[in-house]
Amino acid sequence: MDSGRNGTDEEQGARSTGITVRRALELPGLRSGLPEVVAGTGRLERTVRWVHAGEVPHIASLLKGGELLLTTGYGIGNRPADQRAFVRTLAERDIAALVVELGTRFTRLPAALVDTARGAELPLVQLHRQVPFVTVTEEIHTEIVNGHYALLRRADEVHRRCTEALLSGGGAPQVLQILAAFTGNPVFLETTDGQLLYAAGDGPEGTDPLQVWEGLRDRHQDDPPAGSVLVDVPGGGPGSGGVRARLVLLPVRGPTAPVHRMAAERTADILAVVLMQARQEEELAARGRGDFLSDLAEGRVGPQNAPAQARVLGFKPGGGPLLPVVMRLGDALSPHGGGWAVLARAVAEELAALGVPVLLGVRPVEGRVPLLLGLRAEEERPVVADRVAAALRAGVERAGMRRAGAQPPVVVVGPAGGWAAAAAGLRHAAETSTAAQGLPERPWYDARRLDIDLLLWRLRDHPDLAAFVNRAIGPVLEHDRRSRPPLLPTLQTYLAHAGRKAETARELHLNRQTLYNRLARLGELLGSDLDDPHTVLALSLALRARRHVP
């Protein structure tokens, strides 16, 4: 759950929860031995993580660092070289202090031992009286455990205050503010990909915490400053690795302490509940708005009652016309579970930049996002439609709903008008958004120009539609299955350009004679004149209907 530097950070954190060497020497057990510090007097504030007693020459290999080592000296060795090596290996292991009891092995400590300890700045203590090592161990360990307990109580107090804030209706900002006040440093909540969700606390000299985050954004993800605390907030959906967000504590106003790490871990559990709750509430609210828009479209809410209900939902469009818009996600894009809340929030944030009133809802069952926008004048429709379509697609990208190879979402814009027109426009846009699937990609489609596609889509299961397609363009499809080059693209492009041969040749990158040859071949296969208006109409309908025929 921590910063990805678990080994080092955890050892440092555990080490810092002990007592100092100076405090250990003041306890009755060691004090009764008349301790004398003969080296490392400037390092007595080092933290004792644990106590170990031993008499073997290579005892350093048994230690992890931060220990206070008790010995009578039998493992130190007789030769100065062995004594120097003994101290050096302990210093390299980063023990807290070496305590040697005089009398059994040494009456005074060897000069090589003392000089090496001074050079390594390792606290070296000699005891002039014998002491029960077990008593010393029990006393120091009791102090360490009591220290751990005191830290836990302080961290639990933060947890209690965060819980009270949550139960009082607070959210992530209030929880983060409690943690920031406790640690004295700014605190940040990020998405798993490094996007900032919330910030709390102050930067150096009271600066905005956002300035701190911006300055360290790239660095703290891969190489956080020493003493940083990075804690995963559990949760998230499939593929998230069980992580919903990340809590970041940066030591820019003061150093962090082990209790800050403990408090951050407890706060992360609270934030998991807050985020899960917020997502559920956000999705429920988005679904509620979607239900209202669906009821409006289906006539279950009348135009006369709609404005009052819309105001309750926070939509106050003013006296201008309303613009109905529907975005439909393809099957490969449809979000699952909490993805609808993520999508609704991302789209809402993108739409906020438009500067117009917006009522946004979601309809998960149909895979649609309906919305109403308030315009100042009907002339704004094309410009606002462009910006809305761009914002909707950007929201889909931000929410991570666009998968490789999947078709983009379809955005359909209805006509602008009053509440009655908005109801009809929403219904029409919702129907045509399904019929528009598979059409040549556009930023948005005008619902008024999709009526033929909607009619053909409604006939998709009727056998007469398949028979019509086969009669109209079956010979071309059969040709393309057997021969090259295919002729269907030429027919589609020719009809799209209303029979203008120069534009058709230019788009297909063909010289004019090659195009004439292909058009002549199409006329032979179809047994009709491609310049005949009835033939053109039939072929155009057949090409549009082909999308709906298996």
Tell me the two tokens of residue 285.
Answer: 């609210």
> The CATH number of the domain where 269 resides is what?
3.30.450.40
Question: Are residues 170 and 261 both part of a single domain?
Answer: yes
Note the pLDDT of residue 396.
Answer: 83
Q: The domain containing residue 488 runs over which residues?
A: 463-548
> The CATH number of the domain where 85 resides is what?
3.40.1390.20
> The CATH number of the domain where 352 resides is what?
3.30.70
Judge whether 449 and 421 are in contact, CB under 8 Å: no
* pLDDT tens, residue by residue, 86-141: 999 999 999 999 999 999 889 999 999 999 999 999 999 999 999 999 999 999 98
Q: What pTM value is reported for the model?
A: 0.49
Q: Is residue 511 very low, low, confident or very high in pLDDT (cuts 50, 70, 90)?
A: very high
Please indicate, yes or no, if residue 297 is contained in any of the structural domains.
no
Q: Which of 418, 445, 472 is the last residue of a domain?
A: 445
Question: Are residues 270 and 317 both part of a single domain?
Answer: no
Q: Which of 414, 445, 476 is the last residue of a domain?
A: 445
| Spatial separation of the C-alpha atoms in residues 334 and 178, rounded to whole Å | 38
Please indicate, yes or no, if residue 250 is contained in any of the structural domains.
yes
Question: Are residues 437 and 467 both part of a single domain?
Answer: no
Question: Are residues 435 and 320 both part of a single domain?
Answer: yes
Please indicate, yes or no, if residue 90 is contained in any of the structural domains.
yes
Question: Are residues 494 and 537 both part of a single domain?
Answer: yes
Indicate whether 219 pLDDT > 60.
Answer: no
The total of structural domains in the chain comes to 4
Indicate whether 14 pLDDT > 50.
Answer: no
> The CATH number of the domain where 517 resides is what?
1.10.10.2840
Tell me the two tokens of residue 250.
Answer: 């940066």
Tell me the two tokens of residue 84.
Answer: 């120097």
Please indicate, yes or no, if residue 136 is contained in any of the structural domains.
no
Q: Long-range contacts made by residues 172-177, C-beta under 8 angstroms, separation at least 24? A: 172/197, 172/198, 172/271, 172/274, 172/275, 172/278, 173/198, 173/200, 175/267, 175/270, 175/271, 175/274, 176/200, 176/201, 176/267, 176/271, 177/201
Please indicate, yes or no, if residue 190 is contained in any of the structural domains.
yes
Burial track 438-459 (b if 16+ CB lie within 10 A, e otherwise): eeeeeebbbbeebeebbebbeb
Judge whether 100 and 124 are in contact, CB under 8 Å: yes
Q: Return the residue matching tokens 């292909």.
A: 518
Indicate whether 280 pLDDT > 70.
Answer: no
Indicate whether 198 pLDDT > 80.
Answer: no
What average pLDDT does this structure show over 262-267?
Answer: 88
Please indicate, yes or no, if residue 451 is contained in any of the structural domains.
no
| Spatial separation of the C-alpha atoms in residues 460 and 452, rounded to whole Å | 12
Question: Are residues 117 and 198 both part of a single domain?
Answer: no
Strand order in the sheet with 196-200: 196-200, 187-190, 243-249, 229-234
Indicate whether 401 pLDDT > 70.
Answer: no
Question: Are residues 493 and 369 both part of a single domain?
Answer: no
| Spatial separation of the C-alpha atoms in residues 449 and 148, rounded to whole Å | 72
Q: How far is CA 249 from CA 63, 136, 246, 371, in A?
A: 31, 37, 10, 39
What average pLDDT does this structure show over 279-303?
Answer: 84
Instruction: Name every residue whose Cβ is closer than 8 Å to that of residue 430 and which is 6 or more positions away in sequence.
Output: 297, 326, 328, 366, 368, 370, 412
Please indicate, yes or no, if residue 295 is contained in any of the structural domains.
no
Please indicate, yes or no, if residue 455 is contained in any of the structural domains.
no
What average pLDDT does this structure show over 423-438?
Answer: 89
Question: Are residues 103 and 21 both part of a single domain?
Answer: yes
| Spatial separation of the C-alpha atoms in residues 274 and 286, rounded to whole Å | 18
Q: Which of 445, 476, 493 is the last residue of a domain?
A: 445
Dihedral sign for Cα 490, 496, 497, 500, please: positive
Question: Are residues 432 and 467 both part of a single domain?
Answer: no
Question: Are residues 369 and 418 both part of a single domain?
Answer: yes
Average confidence score pLDDT of the chain: 84
* pLDDT tens, residue by residue, 118-129: 999 999 999 999
Question: Are residues 239 and 370 both part of a single domain?
Answer: no
Note the pLDDT of residue 259.
Answer: 85
Half-sphere exposure of 543 (CA within 13 A, CB side): 19
Helix extents (H) in 249-305 = 258-298
Q: At what angle do helices 258-298 and 339-352 cross, to 10 degrees?
A: 80
Question: Are residues 29 and 120 both part of a single domain?
Answer: yes
